[in-house]
């Protein structure tokens, strides 16, 4: 069994490659739910949907989120209500788009949760509806919310992740991150870590995608106990994030926006880091801090490149696992 | 001021005529909320929306509910989830359609209610967004649910109104109706009844559209105290309902599916009944039970006919009001 700790777009692209390289039934994706939110009364799990839709081949390739061939009728009609919304109300948000096709997923999730189903159950049902052979599990069935302190107009405001990421288009400085509820949330996958042949940390934002997963009680300690079979893929290439604000966020929070910065963050829980060819020069520095280093093409321009990266990563995990006895 | 007690389609068509006949700012529509429901986590108020959309000229004229030029993308995609829905789950209902444009209204309502706004406030905001000059108020801000006992396969089942009306297409016999929560729900309009120049009971189902309004604490007694200025329009014409199951329902519950049956139901609270020309022969029988009777063309094929009916109804109310001193 292969366990992949996953955020959104980068993780989804990696998983799409992984299922070409191995039997999908062997793969469990453990997905960040710190970004989950409620809008219009609907329970929205952005990273789970991105992973599900991408592995299903249904994701919109340009946007990287939501469904291909999408229409936006509901959202377009919501603008009618912006003018009558009282001051202080957050109804009819103009800044969060949900496509008409995508809405069906949120409707189903919301209805099932309100019936008392767990998010794990609903996520499994949705994955089945899309014909997926991999398992997709939320990191927890409990409520965890990533909260971001941002610097705006010279003072610090705390906002939910989507208000930072989507509403502010992640263009404001971040001064702190925390994961409300993580202390008491039960992870869904901790028992699987010890049994997994390989644990892969997908090329996702280390702070706000992998961070919430690590923040769950016992997860970091369990990963640390098996760190030789844990392999991460750096989401930072040549000092930049391929997508999203990981590079700026690392710098703003006192880390280094480089493969070495990523290696330092992951060193306690991860025996091997896969870095891009552009960063090959940093290999020795990474190994010097006790993290094995593998160089590969990590820019997943096609599913085939992602599959090749997956094979490289799995090989590294198996190498590492030989030390983990 | 003119107060109209209103259900869905029939009331909405009457109101569209009324606003042609009088200053819309004089009109308050008090709308049944016993049909309200929650689907997909969304708060749905079918009668309020039918009234709002109709007065706005935005209703779909064929269906009589929902918006014109509607698309159904979200609903079409929901069918994907029917196959994975566990036994006993009511998620992804195939029997209740919500158009993509219409969804925006439910999104706004749900978000505002979750912020703590009252249904009255939200309804007023939505009416304003549609540019309406009349006031539309829910009969109560509290939760009232019309429950229907239906006879199916030789035994009686209790279902919510929409499960009777939409899911069963109101084609099963009804053995009882009740209005859960009505005893303790506060009406929004009881104070306005005494101050109104006229109170009009729209041509709506007397049992399940006007019934919930009457069931609110104090409403029937207040209407009775002012019955001379209360005028009803019969929704039954020549023994049949123009739309919906009012005729069958009256018979099933022991009333008469005729203008006389309607007159008996309304006699305690209503001084005048407007009946259709086809029922002119029943005028004396109605007056014999103490209800003044006005004959008019009540089949609102056009807004102009509805306006003429509204003028006739208002004249009758003013006549009646002279007795109510």
What interface predicted TM-score (ipTM) does this complex get? 0.93
pLDDT at position A324 is 58
Residue % of chain B over a pLDDT of 70: 99
By C-alpha distance, the chain A residue nearest B71 is: A73
Angle at A288 (CA atoms; ends A286, A294), nearest 5 degrees: 40
A interface test, pick of B66, B67, B84 with most A CB neighbours within 10 Å: B84
- For chain A, what is the largest distance between any 2 Cα atoms, rounded to a whole number of angstroms? 64
The superfamily CATH assigns to domain A1-84+92-143+190-325 is: CofD-like domains (3.40.50.10680)
DSSP notation for A214-246: HHSTTHHHHHHHTGGGEEEE-SEETTEESSSSH
For residue B325, is pLDDT > 80? no
Within chain B, where are the H helices? 9-21, 46-55, 73-78, 100-114, 119-129, 161-162, 190-195, 210-215, 219-225, 246-252, 259-266, 283-288, 303-321
Flag whether residue A217 sits within 8 Å of chain B, measured between CB atoms. Answer: no
For tokens 């006949």, what's the residue? B21
pLDDT at position B322 is 82
Residues of A in contact with B117 (CB under 8 A): 86, 89
Q: What are phi and psi of B38, to 5 degrees?
A: -120, 125
Q: What residue ranges of chain A have pLDDT lower than 70?
A: 324-325
For tokens 């019936």, what's the residue? A115
For B94-133, the pLDDT digits (tens) are 999 999 999 999 999 999 999 999 999 999 999 999 999 9
For tokens 């006895």, what's the residue? A325
Using alpha carbons, list the distances in angstroms from residue A11 to A78, A84, A308, B42, B109.
32, 40, 15, 31, 35
Average pLDDT over residues B230-249: 94
Q: Nearest C-alpha of chain A: how many angstroms from B223?
A: 33
Contact assessment for residue A170 and residue A164, using Cβ atoms and an 8 Å cutoff: yes
Q: Nearest C-alpha of chain B: how many angstroms from A69?
A: 11
Contact residues, A window 12-51, toward B, CB-based 8 Å cutoff: 38-43
- From the CB of residue B191, how many other CB atoms can be counted at a distance below 10 Å? 9
Q: What are phi and psi of B260, to 5 degrees?
A: -70, -40
Flag whether residue A131 sits within 8 Å of chain B, measured between CB atoms. Answer: no
Q: Which of B256, B185, B174, B235 is nearest to B215 (CA)?
A: B185
Contact A104 B81 (CB under 8 A): yes
Size of interface A-B (CB pairs under 8 A): 145
pTM of the model: 0.95
pLDDT at position B64 is 87
Sign of CA pseudo-dihedral B214, B218, B224, B228: negative
Contact B43 A41 (CB under 8 A): yes
Average pLDDT over residues B151-167: 92
pLDDT at position A316 is 95
Assigned token pair, B188: 């929004």
Confidence bin at B54 (pLDDT 50/70/90): very high
Using alpha carbons, list the distances in angstroms from residue A275 to A242, A262, B140.
13, 10, 62
A interface test, pick of B42, B70, B89, B100 with most A CB neighbours within 10 Å: B100
Q: Which of B3, B14, B4 is nearest to B306 (CA)?
A: B14
Contact B73 A100 (CB under 8 A): yes
Q: Which of B142, B254, B154, B168 is nearest to B207 (CA)?
A: B254
Q: What does the buried/exposed string (b/e) look like for A5-37 if buried means 16 or more CB atoms within 10 Å of the residue's CB?
A: bbbbbbbbbbbbbbbebbebebbbbbbbbbbbb
Q: Nearest C-alpha of chain B: how many angstroms from A27?
A: 21
pLDDT at position B242 is 86
pLDDT at position B321 is 82
By C-alpha distance, the chain B residue nearest A107 is: B40
Residues of A in contact with B129 (CB under 8 A): 80-81, 83-84
Flag whether residue A74 sits within 8 Å of chain B, measured between CB atoms. Answer: yes
By C-alpha distance, the chain A residue nearest B80 is: A129
- Which residues on neighbouring strands pair with residue A43, listed in sequence order? A38
Residues of A in contact with B41 (CB under 8 A): 41-43, 107, 110-111, 114
Sign of CA pseudo-dihedral B300, B306, B308, B312: positive
For B291-323, the pLDDT digits (tens) are 999 999 999 999 999 999 999 999 999 988 887
Q: Nearest C-alpha of chain B: how many angstroms from A183?
A: 27
Flag whether residue B74 sits within 8 Å of chain A, measured between CB atoms. Answer: yes
**Sheet of strand A272-276, all strands in order from the earlier edge strand to the far edge:** A135-138, A27-31, A2-6, A198-201, A230-233, A272-276, A292-296
For residue B158, is pLDDT > 70? yes
The CA dihedral of B183, B184, B188, B189, to the nearest 10 degrees, is 40
d(CA A276, CA A305): 12
Flag whether residue A94 sits within 8 Å of chain B, measured between CB atoms. Answer: no
Question: Considering chain B, what is the average pLDDT of its residues?
Answer: 95
Nearest-CB residue to B41 (from A73, A105, A110): A110
DSSP tag of A164: I
Contact residues, A window 136-165, toward B, CB-based 8 Å cutoff: none
pLDDT at position B17 is 97
Contact residues, B window 238-297, toward A, CB-based 8 Å cutoff: none
**Domains in chain A: boundaries:** 1-84+92-143+190-325, 145-183
Contact B107 A43 (CB under 8 A): no
Cα B194 off chain centre by: 21
pLDDT at position B324 is 58
The 3 state secondary structure assigned to B78-144 is HHHHHHHCCCCCCCCCCCCCCCHHHHHHHHHHHHHHHCCCCHHHHHHHHHHHCCCCCEEEECECCCC
- From the CB of residue A227, how many other CB atoms can be counted at a distance below 10 Å? 22
């Amino acid at each position: 069994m292969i366990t992949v700790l996953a955020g959104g777009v980068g993780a989804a692209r990696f998983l799409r490659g992984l299922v070409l390289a191995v039997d999908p039934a062997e793969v469990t994706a453990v997905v960040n739910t710190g970004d989950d939110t409620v809008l219009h009364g609907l329970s929205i799990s952005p990273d789970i949907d991105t992973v599900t839709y991408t592995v299903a081949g249904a994701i919109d390739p340009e946007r990287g989120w939501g469904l291909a061939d999408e229409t936006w009728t509901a959202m377009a009609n919501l603008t009618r209500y912006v003018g009558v919304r009282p001051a202080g109300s957050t109804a009819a948000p103009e800044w969060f788009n949900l496509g008409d096709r995508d809405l069906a997923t949120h409707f189903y999730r919301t209805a099932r949760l309100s019936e008392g189903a767990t998010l794990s159950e609903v996520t499994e049902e949705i994955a089945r509806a899309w014909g997926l052979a991999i398992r997709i599990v939320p990191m927890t069935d409990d409520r965890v919310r990533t909260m971001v302190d941002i610097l705006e107009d010279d003072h610090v405001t705390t906002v939910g992740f989507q208000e930072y990421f989507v509403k502010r288009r992640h263009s404001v400085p971040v001064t702190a991150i925390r994961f409300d509820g993580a202390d008491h949330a039960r992870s869904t996958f901790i028992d699987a870590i010890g049994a997994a042949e390989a644990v892969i940390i997908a090329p996702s934002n280390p702070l706000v995608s992998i961070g919430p997963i690590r923040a769950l009680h016992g997860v970091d300690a369990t990963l640390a106990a098996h760190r030789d079979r844990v392999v991460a893929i750096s989401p930072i290439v040549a000092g930049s994030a391929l997508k999203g604000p990981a590079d700026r966020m690392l710098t703003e929070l006192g880390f280094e926006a480089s493969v070495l910065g990523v290696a330092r963050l992951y060193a306690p829980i991860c025996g091997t880091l896969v870095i891009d060819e552009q960063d090959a020069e940093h290999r020795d520095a990474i190994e010097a801090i006790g993290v094995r280093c593998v160089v590969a093409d990590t820019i997943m321009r096609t599913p085939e490149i992602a599959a090749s990266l997956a094979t490289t990563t799995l090989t590294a995990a198996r190498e590492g696992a030989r030390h983990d006895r």
